[in-house]
Amino acid sequence: MKTVLIIGAGIGGLTTALALAQRGFAVEVLEQAPAIKEVGAGLQLSPNAMAVYSALGIANQIEALSCEPKAGILRNGKKGTPLMMTEMGEVYHRRYSHKYLHIHRADLIETLLLNTKKHNINIHLGMNIKESDIEQDPIQVQIGHTALQGNYLIAADGIRSLFRNPICGESRPEFTGQIAWRGIIPTQSVPKNLIPFAANNWLGHGQHFVSYYVKGGTMINFVAVKEQAQWTEERWDMPANKSELAAAFSGWDSRISQLIEACDESFLWGLFDHAPLPHWTKGRMALLGDAAHPMLPFMAQGAAMAIEDAWVLAACLAKYENDPHLALKRYETARKPRTTFMQSISRQNAALYHMRPGLGRMIRDLKFQAATLFSPALLARLDKIYGVDVTQDYPA
């Protein structure tokens, strides 16, 4: 039995662990943090992500903890009037065979952790990784005075991955000129039906505000993004100043000010991006998720791409288990076009959402209205995002 070492116990790392265990690999997950926990944050699981969890046999568990939005609504940030509305819910389920869900990150992580226990996957916390020898077989990772060995090492340790530079040379994430707040609010703390049971997105010059329900509708999650010239903090979860958040969205739709006022705790972070990396693999080691292809949150596909990565990587390691280098190259070849495309769409949406008033924005809004009237054309464009099912392309 071959052993895979996974660096990082986030969504990508834990999903990879389950996909590998399903195929008979022994898995060791190494996490630097002393405990696995998530600050309050929601997550969007589109049908392409849920296809993987369905194949892993845990879709029902995830669905029980999620909310299914009935629609996607883009609004004028200040007036609050709809610019575009698309049906989701059963329409997406019928078209893509899987649901589009909103879930709290902590609920998803807990579900993944519970299932790793069923597969006897070892999770090592508080791992301060000093060095690794990726040219050896087995690979050896030094943790303090202890060494762990494996046939493969998968780095799913996020945008500031410790293993990106050893694989593809010096490469640092760059600040995009945008900052984001996120928070979560008890639904009972705001007027009933303040926001629709939908994926809600208010757009404005240089900023936008996203909000939706999680935890069975008992909590409301929001993410607020604003353009800013500089960002010096290294942390992605810095406690935010509510008055600064309120000032940033002053004069916007009153529903936004009510959400902000009801939020007791929010977090602030800078949005960083990477140009597509030249390669993701070296020897018996590979990058996965944000370590390989961080992307802006304007298509809500960052987690979904890591989830897809997990399935394809496991399939390639199983199919080419006697040729490790070929297995990892096939994984990279399969995934790079898809993730590069998604990075590009996310960047394009940033510009689209944040357009300044003028002719360009008027044309954009007319296109949004046309998309509302001719939803089949919009769905056809979304097919290349949500209609991809890697479990069909790489069956277990």
Q: Which long-range contacts (CB under 8 A, 24 or more apart) does 25-29 make?
A: 25/1, 25/314, 25/317, 25/318, 26/1, 26/2, 27/3, 27/116, 27/119, 27/121, 27/122, 28/3, 28/4, 28/121, 28/122, 28/124, 28/148, 28/150, 29/116, 29/121, 29/122, 29/123, 29/124
Instruction: Return the structure tokens found at 143.
Output: 């943790």
- Could you tell me if 222 and 183 are in contact, meaning their C-beta atoms sit under 8 angstroms apart? yes
Q: Among all residues, which ones are annotated catalytic?
A: 212
The C-alpha atoms of residue 54 and residue 43 are separated, in whole angstroms, by 17
Cβ count within 10 A of residue 1: 6
The C-alpha atoms of residue 30 and residue 6 are separated, in whole angstroms, by 6
What's the full length of the chain, in residues? 396
Cβ count within 10 A of residue 333: 12
Cβ count within 10 A of residue 392: 10
Kindly tell me the burial class for residue 42, based on how many C-beta atoms sit within 10 Å of its own C-beta (0-12, 13-18, 19 or more): buried
Phi (first) and psi of residue 118, to 5 degrees:
-65, -25
- If you search the block for the tokens 């029902």, which residue do you land on? 60
